[in-house]
Amino acid sequence: MEQVEAMDFYERVVGGDSKTTEITLENEDGAAIDVELTVVERKALLDEINRLPDEMLETLSEADNPDEAEEAAREENMMTNVNGDTIQAFENICSQSIEHENLTSIHIEEIVSELDFEVLFPLGAEVIEMSFESTGKVKDFHGLDSAKN
């Protein structure tokens, strides 16, 4: 543990880049665009996750990666549990995560609304996993030693 000045600690916590991943989205005619997936803010993420059926949450949490989650969902016929809220939650999660310097949030939302189910659910699962891994930069706390006071 390294003791630092208050403003140095502040800069380390709030400064710097958050985790991003670059992916390529491909249209049915082969047109492609590179976009960034960013971490979704935890309050918004949890609001969307609360829309998901319990069975889907269990499948997502038990999987080691998005592909495994998709395979498990397919095996358990998760599509029978999908409703409008589920689709909306995944679309919102993806819309909040995808960024491109030349596209507005409206453009991103329109693109996300056109994602095939085979893309929407694994992409959303990847964003959920990435976001849970990056819930904050402060990772520990310690009680003050009373002898120092």
Q: Is the pTM of this model over 0.85?
A: no
User: Does residue 105 contact residue 96 with C-beta atoms inside 8 Å?
Assistant: no
Domain that holds residue 41: 37-136
- The total number of structural domains that make up the chain: 1
The 10s digit of each residue's pLDDT in 79-93 is: 666 788 889 999 999
Q: Is the pLDDT of residue 44 over 90?
A: yes
Which H/E stretch holds residue 22? strand 20-26
Higher pLDDT, 38 or 75: 38
**Positive or negative torsion for Cα 15, 20, 22, 28:** negative
In what order do the strands lie in the sheet containing 32-38?
Answer: 20-26, 32-38, 98-99
Query: Does 51 map to a domain?
Result: yes
**Lowest-confidence region among 1-5, 21-25, 38-42, 84-88:** 1-5
In a domain, 26, yes or no: no
- Hey, which residues does 25 pair with through a beta bridge? 33
User: What mean pLDDT comes out for the span 64-78?
Assistant: 67
User: In the predicted model, is pLDDT for residue 70 greater than 70?
Assistant: no
Residue 112 belongs to some domain of the structure? yes
